[in-house]
C-alpha cells in the first residue's frame, strides 16, 4: 500500500478512536480545568504573562493557546478539547513522517497505529491537558531536524519548552544529536540559542514578580517531593525505589499497549546496544527517563507519572517494526494478530474498567483510560448543579486531597463569582460578599475541620457552617449536595 494511504488509514483510525472520548470525557487529569480557568481570565484582558504569580506551575504558551482558542470559540468545555484533538492528530502524522524517514513506511505505519490507539494519548488529545500540544511540537522539532531546517526546529522546541517545562531537557539532547550528525558547530550553537530564547525572559519575569527565578520549577519539585515522601511512607524504602526503577518500561507496556510496547522497548534497546540506524531517536526517548528514574529510585524526590512517560513511549514506537519483521514468518503473523487485538483491547478495557465505575480497579485505570473521567458521583453532582441550581444560587464548595472539587466546579456551569471555594485563598472574603445558598461536601473533605463547622461530613443529613445551616438535597458517592435551611427567626413576644 502506498505510504500516503497508510498515513490516511492511521489518521482515520486515530480520529475514530478519539471521538467517543471527546464526547464522553470529563476534564480532570493533567490539570485541565485549572488551565482553562486561568486562560479564561487571561483572555478577558490579554497581556504579557507576569510569571508564576499568574501561570503557577503551568507553561505560559499552553495557557496562551487555550486563551486564544477561547477567544475564537468561547466554550470552555469544547474549544480547548478541539485544540488538543488537532495537536493529537498532528502528532500521529509527524510520528509517521519521522519513522518513514528513518525506518521506512512499514515501521511508520506500526508506529502511527501505536500512537493512534495509545490510551493515554487518546485522553490527552481529548482534554485540556498539555501533553498533546507538547508532543506535537517536540515531534515537529525532530521532523524538521531530519530535513535540516534547524532554525524552525529550534523555534518549535523553544515553544515546546514553554508549553511544558520538561521540554527544556530536550535542548541539550537534540543539540547532542546534531553534533552526532556532524552539523557545523556554529549552526548547533544557533540552534541552542533559538531554542532557549524564551527561557531568560521567563526566568526574569518570575524573579521580578515572585522573587524566585525558578519559581515554577521549584513548585513542581516540591510537589513531587511531597508525593514521593508520602509514597515512601506507604510502600517502604525498598518497594518504592524498585517501583521507580522499573516504572518507565512498565508504563510503556500500558501507554502503547502491551505487545506493541514490548516490541518497541526491545527494538529501542537493540538499536541503542548495536548503534544501528536511528539509534539516536531511542537515546532522545530515554535520556530524560534515566534522569527521572535516578531521581525517583536514588534521590527519592520524584514521583513518576504516566504522563511523563508518554514521550519515551512515543519515540520508542518506530522501533517496534524491526523486532516484528525479524520474527519467523508464522510467529510474525501470530504476533502481529495478537498485537492488533491488544491495540484495541487495551484502551477499550481501561475505558470499561473506569467509565461510570467506582472501586480500586476503576481508580487505577482512570488516569490511563482513553476517556477522562471522575468517580460517577462527582459527575452526577456536577450534572445536578447544572440542571437544578437556580439562577441566583451561590455554592459553598468543600475541598479535599483528591482534588475532585476542581472538575466538579469546572463542569457545574456556575460562574466563578457564584462559587465560594474552600481551596481558594479568598474563600472568607467571597463568603462574606456572597452568602451561599447551596453547599457540596466531599468524601474526606476539609471543611469539617474549619472553624465554625458543625457536623460538616458528606454522610450527614444536615450541617452548619458559621451562621449558615444546610439540609441535604441529594447524596451521591463521594459528594453530597445541600441547600440552605436556616431556622426561622424566633417569634417576638
pLDDT band at 488 (very low <50, low <70, confident <90, very high): low
Tell me whether strands 479-484 and 468-476 are parallel, antiparallel or unpaired: antiparallel
Q: Which tens digit of pLDDT belongs to each residue from 237-272?
A: 999 999 999 999 999 999 999 999 999 999 999 999
pTM across the whole model: 0.94
Q: Which tens digit of pLDDT belongs to each residue from 216-229?
A: 999 999 999 999 99
* pLDDT on residue 285: 96
Nearest to 455 by CA among 474, 477, 471, 438: 471
Q: Which tens digit of pLDDT belongs to each residue from 393-409?
A: 999 999 998 899 999 99
Mean pLDDT of 129-148: 97
Q: Which tens digit of pLDDT belongs to each residue from 354-395?
A: 999 998 999 999 999 999 999 999 999 999 999 999 999 999
Q: Which tens digit of pLDDT belongs to each residue from 284-304?
A: 999 999 999 999 999 999 999
Mean pLDDT of 196-212: 94
Mean pLDDT of 65-91: 96
* pLDDT on residue 493: 39
* pLDDT on residue 386: 93
Amino acid at each position: 500500500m502506498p505510504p500516503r494511504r497508510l498515513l490516511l488509514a492511521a489518521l482515520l483510525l486515530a480520529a475514530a478512536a478519539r471521538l467517543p472520548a471527546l464526547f464522553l470525557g470529563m476534564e480532570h487529569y493533567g490539570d485541565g480545568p485549572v488551565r482553562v480557568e486561568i486562560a479564561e481570565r487571561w483572555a478577558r484582558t490579554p497581556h504579557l504573562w507576569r510569571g508564576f504569580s499568574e501561570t503557577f506551575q503551568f507553561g505560559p504558551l499552553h495557557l496562551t493557546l487555550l486563551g486564544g482558542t477561547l477567544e475564537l470559540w468561547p466554550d470552555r468545555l469544547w474549544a480547548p478539547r478541539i485544540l488538543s484533538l488537532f495537536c493529537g492528530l498532528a502528532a500521529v502524522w509527524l510520528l509517521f513522517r519521522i519513522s518513514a524517514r528513518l525506518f521506512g513506511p512499514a515501521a511508520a505505519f506500526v508506529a502511527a497505529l501505536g500512537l493512534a490507539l495509545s490510551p493515554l494519548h487518546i485522553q490527552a488529545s481529548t482534554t485540556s491537558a498539555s501533553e498533546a500540544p507538547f508532543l506535537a511540537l517536540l515531534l515537529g522539532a525532530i521532523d524538521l531536524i531530519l530535513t535540516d531546517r534547524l532554525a524552525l526546529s529550534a523555534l518549535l522546541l523553544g515553544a515546546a519548552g514553554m508549553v511544558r517545562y520538561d521540554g527544556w531537557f530536550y535542548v541539550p539532547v537534540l543539540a547532542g544529536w546534531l553534533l552526532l550528525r556532524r552539523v557545523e558547530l556554529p549552526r548547533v550553537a544557533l540552534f541552542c540559542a533559538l531554542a532557549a530564547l524564551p527561557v531568560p525572559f521567563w526566568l526574569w519575569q518570575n524573579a521580578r514578580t515572585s522573587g524566585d527565578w525558578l519559581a515554577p520549577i521549584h513548585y513542581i519539585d516540591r510537589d513531587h517531593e511531597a508525593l514521593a515522601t508520602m509514597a515512601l511512607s506507604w510502600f517502604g524504602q525498598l518497594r518504592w525505589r524498585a517501583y521507580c526503577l522499573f516504572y518507565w518500561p512498565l508504563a510503556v507496556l500500558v501507554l502503547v499497549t502491551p505487545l506493541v510496547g514490548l516490541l518497541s522497548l526491545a527494538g529501542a534497546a537493540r538499536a541503542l546496544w548495536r548503534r544501528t540506524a536511528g539509534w539516536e531517536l531511542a537515546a532522545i526517548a530515554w535520556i530524560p527517563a534515566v534522569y527521572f528514574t535516578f531521581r525517583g529510585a536514588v534521590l527519592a524526590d520524584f514521583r513518576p507519572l504516566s504522563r511523563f512517560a508518554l514521550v519515551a513511549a512515543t519515540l520508542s514506537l518506530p522501533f517496534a517494526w524491526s523486532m516484528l519483521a525479524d520474527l519467523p514468518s508464522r510467529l510474525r503473523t501470530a504476533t502481529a494478530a495478537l498485537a492488533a487485538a491488544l491495540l484495541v483491547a487495551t484502551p477499550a478495557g481501561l475505558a470499561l474498567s473506569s467509565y461510570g465505575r467506582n472501586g480500586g480497579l476503576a481508580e487505577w485505570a482512570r488516569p490511563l483510560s482513553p476517556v477522562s473521567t471522575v468517580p460517577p458521583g462527582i459527575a452526577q453532582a456536577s450534572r445536578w448543579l447544572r440542571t437544578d441550581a437556580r439562577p441566583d444560587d451561590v455554592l459553598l464548595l468543600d475541598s479535599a486531597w483528591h482534588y475532585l472539587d476542581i472538575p466538579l466546579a469546572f463542569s457545574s456551569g456556575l460562574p466563578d463569582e457564584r462559587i465560594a471555594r474552600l481551596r481558594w485563598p479568598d474563600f472568607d472574603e467571597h463568603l462574606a460578599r456572597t452568602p451561599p445558598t447551596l453547599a457540596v461536601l466531599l468524601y474526606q473533605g476539609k471543611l469539617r475541620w474549619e472553624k465554625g463547622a458543625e457536623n460538616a461530613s458528606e454522610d450527614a443529613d444536615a450541617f452548619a457552617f458559621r451562621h449558615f445551616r444546610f439540609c441535604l438535597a441529594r447524596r451521591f458517592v463521594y459528594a453530597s449536595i445541600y441547600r440552605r435551611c436556616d431556622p426561622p427567626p424566633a417569634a417576638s413576644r
